[in-house]
């Protein structure tokens, strides 16, 4: 069983189970309608898979689906790197809560990490993380309730 601490820079989006932290949710806390995601589709992608595909297609022009094609995973890895953002989850494996982040550090169970906050801030600024996060949110059609990207301390149990 892992119990990890996570320090991430970005947005806490929430989840189906805990409620979404985005504007436009229904009175029951469900996501607003999104053209790229259908939570009710039984054979569809989960939120993170669908969102990643949307970002790759919209921001990195990566639309390949044949993972058997030679070089597919290299091209996918390069496209993900161009995004400058990624999804991560916290809480637990069974009840994930979604994060859209530009930077993340994980301290695994039994581990201790030294954190140089000024270096992290400089790295985030140099990577133009705020602009990349805003572009990703625009591509997804999501408006978080969080006013701006910020450093978030999260936990993961799973």
What is the C-alpha separation between 7 and 19, in angstroms, rounded?
21
Q: What is the chain's percent helix, strand, coil content, to nearest 5? A: 30, 30, 40
pLDDT tens for each residue of 71-88: 999 999 999 999 999 999
Confidence of residue 122 (pLDDT cuts 50, 70, 90): very high
Q: Is the pLDDT of residue 1 over 90?
A: no
Residue 120 · residue 96 · CB < 8 Å: no
Is the pLDDT at 43 greater than 80? The verdict is: no
Convert the pLDDT of each residue in 4-20 to its tens digit: 999 999 999 999 888 99
Instruction: Tell whether the model's pLDDT for residue 58 goes beyond 90.
Output: yes
Q: What integer is the mean pLDDT of 131-143?
A: 98
- Say how many domains are in the chain: 1
Cα distance between residue 143 and residue 23, in whole Å: 6
Angle, alpha carbons 145-39-135 (nearest 5°) = 45
**58 exposed, middle or buried (CB, 10 Å; 0-12, 13-18, 19+)?**
middle
75 in Cβ contact with 82 (< 8 Å): no
Question: What residue numbers bound the domain in which 56 lies?
Answer: 3-157
């Amino acid at each position: 069983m892992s119990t990890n601490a996570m320090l991430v820079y970005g947005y806490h989006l929430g989840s189906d189970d805990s409620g979404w932290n985005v504007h436009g949710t229904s009175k029951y806390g469900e996501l607003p309608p999104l053209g790229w995601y259908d939570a009710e589709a039984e054979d569809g992608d989960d939120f993170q898979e669908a969102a990643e595909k949307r970002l790759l297609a919209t921001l990195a022009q990566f639309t390949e689906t044949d993972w058997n094609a030679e070089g597919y995973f290299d091209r996918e890895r390069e496209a993900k790197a161009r995004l400058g953002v990624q999804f991560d989850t916290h809480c637990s494996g069974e009840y994930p809560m979604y994060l859209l982040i530009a930077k993340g550090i994980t301290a695994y169970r039994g581990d201790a990490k030294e954190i140089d906050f000024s270096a992290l801030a400089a790295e985030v600024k140099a990577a133009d993380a705020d602009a990349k996060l805003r572009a990703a949110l625009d591509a997804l059609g999501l408006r978080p309730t969080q006013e701006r990207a910020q450093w978030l301390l999260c936990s993961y149990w799973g």
